[in-house]
Chains A and B, each alone.
Chain A
Amino acid sequence: AQSVAQPEDQVNVAEGNPLTVKCTYSVSGNPYLFWYVQYPNRGLQFLLKYITGDNLVKGSYGFEAEFNKSQTSFHLKKPSALVSDSALYFCAVRDNGGGFKTIFGAGTRLFVKA
């Protein structure tokens, strides 16, 4: 069965510092991986996805993610954090074996301190 793990409930970083939000996955076939962001009392917004090709994927708001097949990871990164990046981040996976479900991680709350 496919699954997603976000090992950190919360990540704290100072404004201007680089940030990493971790995600590992388990699927039976090749994965399709996504990151979403949720601001307070809002719905989720799509940030970026990995389907195939380059392992480094660039997305919205300066975020990027690196797909690592050997480590089954898809960590979200940003070179310089902003206070406005503070939000709840979800990693999600779909497998390409005919499954339809998007499986979400439990979420990681990011706090960026000024």
Chain B
Amino acid sequence: IAGITQAPTSQILAAGRRMTLRCTQDMRHNAMYWYRQDLGLGLRLIHYSNTAGTTGKGEVPDGYSVSRANTDDFPLTLASAVPSQTSVYFCASSLEYTNTGELFFGEGSRLTVL
């Protein structure tokens, strides 16, 4: 089934540890995004990539990094996790980097930093 695959589904992590959340899509979408979802705040954009080889910062990029080596993969790395990064993380994609296209979301990765 075409779509976005995220891993892990859930993870508990000690503060200070490094963590990479994986995201793979098989829809050949050019644009990809990472959001975090926190209660009462909706979804906030962390980083985005409008095409392979390019990335950009969203609303809340501090403490996170991304790479886009190819079209399909868009991993999100927490270099040194802190408790405030406890959240549910969603990877998303859209066909083109335009304003009219809807987003397709993965099932999410629930991260708890202790």
Report if A and B associate in a common complex: yes
B52 interface residue (CB < 8 Å to A): no
Taken together as a complex, chains A and B put the C-alpha atoms of A44 and B33 apart, in Å, by: 13
Given A44-B90, A90-B42, also A102-B97 (CB < 8 A): no
B42 near A46 with CB under 8 A, answer no
Q: Which of chain A's residues has its CB closest to B35's CB? A: A104
B107 near A34 with CB under 8 A, answer no
Q: Which of chain A's residues has its CB closest to B90's CB? A: A43
A94 near B99 with CB under 8 A, answer yes
B24 interface residue (CB < 8 Å to A): no
The contact sample of 18 A-B pairs, CB cut-off 8 A, is A34-B102, A34-B103, A41-B107, A41-B108, A42-B108, A43-B90, A43-B106, A43-B107, A43-B108, A45-B105, A95-B99, A96-B99, A100-B50, A101-B45, A102-B45, A104-B42, A104-B43, A104-B44
